[in-house]
């Protein structure tokens, strides 16, 4: 059965792009220049973590209510083959990182994965992601 796995590294991150007003950006640069933060990214990460801490109870309640896996969930070819042999289908629901092994074929993914709901990132081969596109919410 699928399990939380350490194959994806904890320190992995996804790059995002944000647009900021010039005044906000200037204030960030001022705080960096004054030594409060080492760089813009440091301030932005700190601000995001502070907001996530502020809303931690809501996140916990929602994770429980929606039956989401919190963290990393990795599906190997063997995991999916066992699910297929059992005649079952997966509803992947993850807050964090869901990954499907690179040796999983399109046919196996389509036969075993009913739906994918990921708040965070989904790592899978391009062909598997394309095949599952209609099942990803």
* pLDDT digit string, tens, across residues 44-53: 999 999 999 9
User: Mean pLDDT across the stretch 78-90?
Assistant: 96
pTM of the predicted structure, to 2 decimals: 0.70
Under 8 Å between Cβ of 119 and 68 = yes
| Cα–Cα distance, 127 to 131 (Å, whole number) | 6
Lateral strand order in the sheet of 90-100: 69-75, 90-100, 113-123
Q: What is the CA radius of gyration of the chain?
A: 19
- Span 23-82, pLDDT tens digits: 999 999 999 999 999 999 999 999 999 999 999 999 999 888 888 999 999 999 999 999
Question: Phi and psi at residue 23, in whole multiples of 5°?
Answer: -70, -45
């Amino acid at each position: 059965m699928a399990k939380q796995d350490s194959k994806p590294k904890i320190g992995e991150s996804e790059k995002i792009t944000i647009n900021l007003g010039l005044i906000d950006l200037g204030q960030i640069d001022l705080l960096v220049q004054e030594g409060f933060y080492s760089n813009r990214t440091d301030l932005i990460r700190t601000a995001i973590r502070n907001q996530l801490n502020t809303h931690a109870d809501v996140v916990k309640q929602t994770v429980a209510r929606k039956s989401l896996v919190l963290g990393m969930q990795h599906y190997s070819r063997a995991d999916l083959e066992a699910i297929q042999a059992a005649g079952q289908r997966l509803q992947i629901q993850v807050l964090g990182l869901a990954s499907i092994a690179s040796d999983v074929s399109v046919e196996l993914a389509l036969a075993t994965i009913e739906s994918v709901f990921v708040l965070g990132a989904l790592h899978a081969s391009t062909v598997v992601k394309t095949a599952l596109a209609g099942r990803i919410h």
